[in-house]
Amino acid sequence: MPGRFFLGGEVTTWRVYTSVDETVDIRIQLIFALAFFASPFSFAQSSQQRIVPPLHTEGHRIVDSAGHAIRLASVNWYGFDEKEYVPGGLDHAPLPRIIELIQKIGVNSVRLPWANETVESNPAVPDYAVAANPQFKGKRAMEVMDAVIEALSRAHLMVILDNHVSRADWCCSETDGNGLWYNDQYPEEKWLADWMALARRYAHQPWVVGADLRNELRNGATWGGLNPKLDWHAAAERGGAAVLRGNSRLLVMVEGPNYSTDFRGVDKLPVRLPVDHRLVYSPHAYNTSYGKDDERFEERAGFLARMEPGAPVWFGEMGTCQKLDCAGNAEWFKGFVRDVLAKDSQLGWSYWPLNGTQSSGRTRTYDATETYGLLTPDYREIAAPELVEMLRKATQ
């Protein structure tokens, strides 16, 4: 008689027969299924299968269209914001292998940084940057972005688009010219137009679920205030409106001033968007962000998780050395995972970065080892299994 058998997130058809050999085959399938669900990869696969995009917010929670609470567990995969204009690793490994490793890590989403230069100039990508993916040779940056997002979506990995910089380069400093949401070459009008165009470009793709408006505001950016050239709160409302005009189903991630570590004033001056249930606040957290001062963290960012009326919190960047062998830095990170992420199941996070190697840029050397990266320099294995397991245990 025909039946249905659930195997690793996919349904496999089977039949029951009376022969001993075929009965044994079914037992083997059952054993395989149990082993599959016990593996790290199956954790990722099964969690992705439950997600039904698009997403929206309910108080401090992010919820999918089926009503499931979703904890955004993400990796940052940089490169569309850098001098090669493509994500790192396409020179070393085929795109499907990199996506397989993202699934194996156990996350459900990818924060994909991009530069206004990449979107507006749409340069041809250098052959060396896609050497392991010959299908991309001769392509332009936005064609590669389309293909990467399509591949992530087929794997049921959600995508958060992140406007990381205006001019493509390594981020971040006070002197890199990318500290505000605009500069002389890329004024606010272009920033808004780029966001609307990108939101519309992927409006057909439900697995593109979010828009991180701007990375790590600095250079005097303020939350409110009298100077409109520095008032990030007002600009974030304009940027969020542009995104939602392009695609009203997207979440809108809003970072804060001082490298997204300082959200003081949000309680009195929250972000208002033209579409309800779309706002997410996105602090960043590194060893140097708040030091060892718990009160400083609570005052500047921690309070967001308890503020009413509430909005979800997603730590859009956090990271440490891949081998956890960097003394105080590693100890700080372990404490942050243990004392913050593990204690609040509604907090989302995004590890920086997935990349196993550096892209070209200020203070960077192309193809040098990325010391915070989760993947090996050949992009074929996980380089930080202890770190990955720590995150998995704290947030599953």
pTM for this predicted structure: 0.89
pLDDT in tens, 156-200: 999 999 999 999 999 999 999 999 999 999 999 999 999 999 999
pLDDT in tens, 78-113: 999 999 999 999 999 999 999 999 999 999 999 999
CB atoms within 10 A of CB 249: 17
292 with 333, same domain?
A: yes
65 with 26, same domain?
A: no
28 with 57, same domain?
A: no
**Residues in a beta bridge with 281:** 254, 313
**Domain limits for position 30:** 1-38
147 with 8, same domain?
A: no
Q: Which amino acid is at 86?
A: V
Is residue 237 within a helix (H) or strand (E), and if so which, with residue range? helix 232-246
Tell me the CA end-to-end span of the chain in Å, nearest whole number.
38
44 occurs within a structural domain? no
User: Cα separation of 176 and 184, whole Å?
Assistant: 13
pLDDT lower than 70: segments of the chain: 1-49
Pairing of strands 158-165, 10-15: unpaired
306 with 246, same domain?
A: yes
Q: Provide φ and ψ at 271, rounded to 5°.
A: -75, 135
Do 311 and 280 contact (CB within 8 A), yes or no? yes
pLDDT in tens, 188-198: 999 999 999 99
Is residue 254 within a helix (H) or strand (E), and if so which, with residue range? strand 251-254
pLDDT score, position 12: 32
pLDDT score, position 4: 26
9 with 127, same domain?
A: no
Q: Provide φ and ψ at 222, rounded to 5°.
A: -125, 160
Do 178 and 166 contact (CB within 8 A), yes or no? yes
Tokens of 44: 């990722």
pLDDT score, position 293: 77
255 with 139, same domain?
A: yes
pLDDT score, position 34: 34
Do 75 and 110 contact (CB within 8 A), yes or no? yes
Residues in the chain: 396
Measured between alpha carbons, how far is residue 81 from residues 31, 54, 116, 141 in Å? 45, 25, 8, 10
265 with 315, same domain?
A: yes
Tokens of 82: 């850098």
With the C-alpha atoms ordered 100, 105, 107, 113, is the resulting torsion angle positive or negative?
A: negative
269 with 200, same domain?
A: yes
- Exposure on the CB side of residue 344, measured as CA atoms within 13 A: 20
